[in-house]
């Protein structure tokens, strides 16, 4: 009976201590997109999700008739991790008009970044369909709202560009480990003291005489 109570108390203490240490973990922030473009350029961020991947397309404001530089960031839809080494191509369409764009990985820009270029001749709205392949995974991601001019002016999606807290790490310092061991030993001593006192045989009153 004594051993069972001691073991139960120790398990309760270990569970409580691990819970406290885990809650003291430090959040690890991950940047899901690239830094903002230099001041003075209007940048738009358009995004779309597929089964496996998310694509965030960043463009500066442009006018019809010129080449438009594109940066597409490919992320894992579940973990938000940047996807490197993928094959990415895009199709830009509006009505009967269709343009194919090949994207090239640009690790110098940011992990998971892919660059491309397209010439848009109209100010009508276009839609993107991205084809992404990585190993055995293949996905299609569609994005609407691609348009010349300053539509969606000044809109860099704050929710996309802000660092996202996606995981927690438990940081065990020597001081925390020392406190944990000391508390554990003190608890054991207290438990043994009370258990022995509770279950120690008591001398009957007659025998004391």
Per-residue pLDDT of 108-137, as tens digits, reads 999 999 999 999 888 899 999 999 999 999
pLDDT (tens digit, 9 = 90+) per residue, 177-189?
Answer: 776 667 777 777 7
Predicted confidence at residue 6, as pLDDT, reads 58
Q: What is the pTM of this model?
A: 0.54
Please tell me which of 19-28, 82-91, 187-196 the model is most confident about, judged by mean pLDDT.
82-91
Query: pLDDT band at residue 96, thresholds of 50, 70 and 90?
Result: confident
Compute the CA torsion angle 117, 121, 125, 130 (nearest 10 deg): -30
Average pLDDT, integer, range 83-98: 93
pLDDT (tens digit, 9 = 90+) per residue, 140-151?
Answer: 999 998 988 765
| Phi–psi pair at 126, nearest 5 degrees | -120, 165
* Strand boundaries in 36-136, DSSP class E: 43-49, 53-60, 67-76, 87-94, 97-102, 104-105, 113-119, 126-134
Predicted confidence at residue 173, as pLDDT, reads 65
Distance CA(11)–CA(33), nearest Å, equals: 44
Predicted confidence at residue 122, as pLDDT, reads 86
Q: What CATH number has the domain spanning 30-166?
A: 2.60.40.1930
Q: Write down the domain spans for the chain.
A: 2-25+170-201, 30-166
With beta carbons less than 8 A apart as the criterion, state whether 33 and 160 touch.
yes
């Amino acid at each position: 009976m004594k051993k069972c109570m001691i073991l139960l108390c120790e398990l309760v203490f270990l569970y409580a201590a691990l819970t406290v240490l885990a809650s003291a973990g430090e959040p690890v922030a991950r940047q899901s997109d690239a830094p903002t473009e230099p001041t003075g350029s209007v940048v738009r961020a358009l995004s779309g999700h597929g089964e496996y991947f998310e694509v965030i397309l960043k463009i500066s404001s442009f006018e019809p008739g010129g080449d438009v530089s594109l940066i597409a960031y490919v992320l894992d839809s579940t973990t938000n991790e940047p996807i490197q080494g993928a094959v990415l191509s895009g199709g830009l369409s509006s009505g009967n008009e269709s343009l194919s764009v090949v994207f090239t990985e640009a690790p110098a820009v940011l992990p998971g970044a892919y660059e491309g270029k397209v010439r848009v001749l109209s100010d009508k709205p276009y839609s993107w369909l991205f084809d992404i392949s990585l190993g055995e995974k293949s996905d299609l991601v569609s994005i609407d709202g691609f348009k010349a001019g300053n539509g969606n002016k000044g809109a860099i999606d704050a929710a996309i560009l802000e660092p996202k807290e996606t995981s927690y790490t438990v940081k065990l310092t020597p001081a925390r480990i020392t406190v944990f061991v000391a508390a554990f030993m003190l608890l054991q001593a207290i438990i043994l003291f009370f258990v022995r006192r509770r279950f120690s045989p008591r001398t009957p009153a007659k025998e004391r005489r």
